[in-house]
């Protein structure tokens, strides 16, 4: 189990430029553009500039997207090249298979998050209200997306399928989750709709770790995120156990 | 003694394709076993089921007494598989790949001397630090063999390990595999080079269309062929445009000056054959008769089922 996890880490660290640096740069570009345009005009929480408000959201969004991308792209690559059989031939159980891919996704997500954080605090004075809450949401959020990535990677038959899920589900949900705004600034209908988006709770709770303020009680957010993780973990394990698409 | 591999009434459907039709086969420990059959016979499907890469629809399969589904951990520890496709992970070099593969089986640094031994035995020592992408097809094939052996499995299955491998390398590969067999490994091998099977295997199963059509020692199989048929090779002074219709059923190959016939002992006569050829205007410069080889038996058996 440890070996598979370690191999997955090696895989993305060997292409660090693409897997960690690139997302960090993307996030910083967002930051530059949005903060420059909007910093003067919007104040979401008292005593928090818009730029400061934006950073945790961007960090979390990148953590989530990269956690998803790590497990899904690694799996589709192994399937397309056929080398997935080297894992399937081993005595590893489906539970170990799941844990290895999920943990590697978490590490990749957190590595990207840390990268953005380190560059951001260079330029902006960012409070850190509670490291524990921040880390908890970072872990739980990337676990959810890592699991979703495994399901997508096992199901997908070509890269297009992964890109489809990424572009039509993961990215929209993460954009529409309050990364760029507090949902209280939305019309009533959109506020209600946001409450069905699990990404909203991840980002809101993560942001609570920085400012100690949130749209929703962080305990409730955490429970919702953990429930989402539990549901996805079960779905992934059932899928892996059945051998779906891997051992047909 | 527990059989190395036991296959009991296994069926496998891929959609409408009935790839295995109640296959049963027992391979004893220490055997050098050949699995032969034409393209699409179901050899790889059977191997994938033994290895747990594919799920069977019904029947039972054990490796060293361990059920491949219920006791998959033990059965996979006991088994090394060299897949038919040349697959590899482009992210790693040869040594890393072998260490990772050993790691999946719970092996750590203590396995490194064995990895060195494998690299040596497969003539890969100077390629140990080369990325997989930079290896030739034959080298990749050898890495696949090393990967299959890295956890020291007692049973080794090789699915066409010599496809696309040059003669010299093929010979050194077989020496290596024979070495494994002498050390007590059970070897199962599929190949389309029937000469290889004839030289190496003690017992052979010929499968066709998802079922075993013959299962016997090599000698007994050859005996069958020898008993029933013989081969006549005729060399002509100049090529013959057309082989007389009467001889078509016996014709095996026809390339310019060289014609090969398979004759049923007892019913076909060599004299009649030659007379017919001569009266068709053939100038015969040489005649050779040979006993049947495995290829004849193979063709005989797989043809009979297809008709
Ligand atoms: N994944 C699959 N999906 C659908 N059909 C398959 C699949 N794998 C094999 N088959 C079918 O099952 C049958 C047996 O195929 P198999 O690969 O086992 O043959 P083989 O004996 O290994 O042939 P070869 O000598 O060409 O390797 C074939 O009809 C093939 O088309
Ligand atoms: Mg095959």
Please tell me what DSSP assigns to residue A19: I
Please say if the pLDDT value at position A42 is more than 70.
no
Q: What is the mean pLDDT of residues B128-143?
A: 93
What is the C-alpha to C-alpha distance for residues B171 and A74, in angstroms, rounded to an integer? 37
Query: Where does ligand 1 bind, in terms of residues with CB under 6 Å?
Result: B 14, 17, 19, 37, 39-45, 84
Q: What is the mean pLDDT of residues B47-65?
A: 97
Residue position matching structure tokens 């008292």:
A46
ipTM computed for the complex: 0.89
Lowest-confidence region among A36-40, A73-77, A186-190, B39-43: A36-40
A92 reaches B (C-beta below 8 A): yes
Q: What is the mean pLDDT of residues B257-286?
A: 84
Q: What is the mean pLDDT of residues B115-129?
A: 94
Closest in A3, A83, A88 to B88, CB measured: A83
Residue A14 falls inside a structural domain: no
Give me the pLDDT at residue A175, please: 86
| Contact between B53 and A247 using a beta-carbon 8 Å cutoff | yes
Strand ordering across the sheet containing B58-63: B17-27, B5-14, B58-63, B66-67
A4 reaches B (C-beta below 8 A): yes
Residue A125 falls inside a structural domain: yes
Residue A163 falls inside a structural domain: yes
A244 reaches B (C-beta below 8 A): no
Give me the pLDDT at residue A225, please: 97
Work out the number of other CB atoms within 10 angstroms of the CB of residue B117: 12
Confidence of residue B227 (pLDDT cuts 50, 70, 90): low
Please say if the pLDDT value at position B163 is more than 60.
yes
Give me the pLDDT at residue A40, please: 65
Residue A5 falls inside a structural domain: no
Give me the pLDDT at residue A238, please: 97
- For the stretch A106-147, pLDDT in tens is 999 999 999 999 999 988 888 999 999 999 999 999 999 999
Atom index in ligand 1 nearest the CA of residue A248 equals 1
**Looking at per-residue confidence, does B300 or A155 come out higher?**
A155
Please say if the pLDDT value at position B6 is more than 90.
yes
Give me the pLDDT at residue B218, please: 84
B76 reaches A (C-beta below 8 A): yes
- Residue B130: which residues within 8 A CB-CB, separation 6 or more? B93, B94
Residue A233 falls inside a structural domain: yes
Per the structure, the count of domains in chain A is 1
Please report the residues numbered 135 through 194 in chain B whose beta carbons come closer than 8 angstroms to any beta carbon of chain A.
147
| Contact between B89 and A81 using a beta-carbon 8 Å cutoff | yes
Please say if the pLDDT value at position A180 is more than 90.
no
**Looking at per-residue confidence, does B136 or B242 come out higher?**
B136
Tokens representing residue A141 in the block? 């959020």
Confidence of residue B280 (pLDDT cuts 50, 70, 90): confident
Residue position matching structure tokens 């960012």:
A126
Residue A92 falls inside a structural domain: yes
Give me the pLDDT at residue B80, please: 97
What is the C-alpha to C-alpha distance for residues B19 and B155, in angstroms, rounded to an integer? 24
Please say if the pLDDT value at position B304 is more than 60.
no
Confidence of residue A211 (pLDDT cuts 50, 70, 90): very high
Please say if the pLDDT value at position A21 is more than 90.
no
Residue A41: give the domain boundaries: 22-242
Residue A7 falls inside a structural domain: no
Q: What is the mean pLDDT of residues B208-235?
A: 82
Q: What is the mean pLDDT of residues B277-286?
A: 86
CA atoms within 13 A on the CB side of A123: 11
Residue A4 falls inside a structural domain: no
What is the C-alpha to C-alpha distance for residues B233 and B236, in angstroms, rounded to an integer? 10
Confidence of residue A45 (pLDDT cuts 50, 70, 90): confident
């Amino acid at each position: 189990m440890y070996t598979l996890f370690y191999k997955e880490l090696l895989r993305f660290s060997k292409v660090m430029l693409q897997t960690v640096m690139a997302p960090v740069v993307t996030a910083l570009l967002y930051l530059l553009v949005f903060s420059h345009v909007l910093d003067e005009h919007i104040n979401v929480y008292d005593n928090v500039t818009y730029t400061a408000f934006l950073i945790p959201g961007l960090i979390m969004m990148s953590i989530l997207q990269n956690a998803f991308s790590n497990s899904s792209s690694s799996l589709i690559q192994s399937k397309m090249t056929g080398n997935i059989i080297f894992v399937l031939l081993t005595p590893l159980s489906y539970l170990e298979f799941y844990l290895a891919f999920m943990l590697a996704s978490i590490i990749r997500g957190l590595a990207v998050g840390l990268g953005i954080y380190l560059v951001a605090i260079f330029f902006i004075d960012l409070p850190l209200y509670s490291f524990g809450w921040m880390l908890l949401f970072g872990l739980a959020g990337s676990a959810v997306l890592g699991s979703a990535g495994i399901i997508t990677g096992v199901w997908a038959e070509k890269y297009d399928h992964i890109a489809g899920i990424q572009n039509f589900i993961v990215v929209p949900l993460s954009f529409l989750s309050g990364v760029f705004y507090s949902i209280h600034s939305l019309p009533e209908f959109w506020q209600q709709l946001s409450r069905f988006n699990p990404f909203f709770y991840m980002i809101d709770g993560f942001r609570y770790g920085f400012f100690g303020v949130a749209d929703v009680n962080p305990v409730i957010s955490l429970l919702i995120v953990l429930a989402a993780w539990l549901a996805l973990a079960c779905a992934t394990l059932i899928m892996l156990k059945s051998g779906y698409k891997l051992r047909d | 003694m527990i059989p190395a591999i036991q296959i009991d009434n296994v069926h496998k459907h891929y959609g409408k394709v009935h790839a295995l039709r109640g296959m049963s086969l027992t391979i004893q420990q220490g055997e050098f076993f050949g699995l032969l059959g034409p393209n699409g016979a179901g050899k790889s499907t059977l191997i994938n089921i033994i290895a747990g890469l594919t799920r069977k629809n019904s029947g039972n399969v054990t490796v060293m007494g361990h059920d491949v589904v219920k006791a998959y951990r033990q059965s996979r520890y006991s088994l090394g598989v060299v897949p038919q496709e040349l697959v590899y992970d482009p992210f790693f070099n040869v040594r890393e790949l072998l260490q990772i593969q050993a790691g999946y089986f719970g092996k750590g640094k203590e396995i490194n001397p064995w990895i060195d031994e494998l690299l040596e035995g497969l003539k890969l020592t100077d390629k140990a630090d080369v990325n997989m992408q930079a290896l030739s097809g034959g080298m990749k094939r050898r890495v696949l063999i090393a990967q299959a052996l890295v956890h020291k499995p007692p049973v080794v299955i090789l699915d066409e390990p010599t496809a696309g491998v040059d003669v010299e390398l093929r010979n050194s590969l077989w020496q290596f595999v024979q070495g494994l067999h002498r050390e007590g490994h059970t070897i199962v091998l599929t190949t389309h080079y029937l000469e290889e099977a004839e030289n190496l295997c003690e017992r052979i199963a010929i499968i066709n269309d998802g079922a075993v059509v013959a299962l016997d020692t090599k000698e007994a199989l050859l005996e069958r062929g020898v008993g029933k048929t013989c081969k006549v090779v005729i060399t002509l002074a100049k090529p013959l445009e057309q082989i007389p219709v009467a001889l078509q059923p016996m014709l095996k190959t026809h390339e310019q000056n060289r014609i090969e016939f398979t004759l049923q002992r007892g019913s076909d006569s060599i004299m009649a054959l030659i007379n017919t050829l001569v009266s068709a205007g053939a100038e015969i410069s040489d005649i050779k008769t040979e006993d049947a080889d495995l290829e004849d038996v193979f063709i005989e058996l797989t043809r009979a089922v297809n008709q």
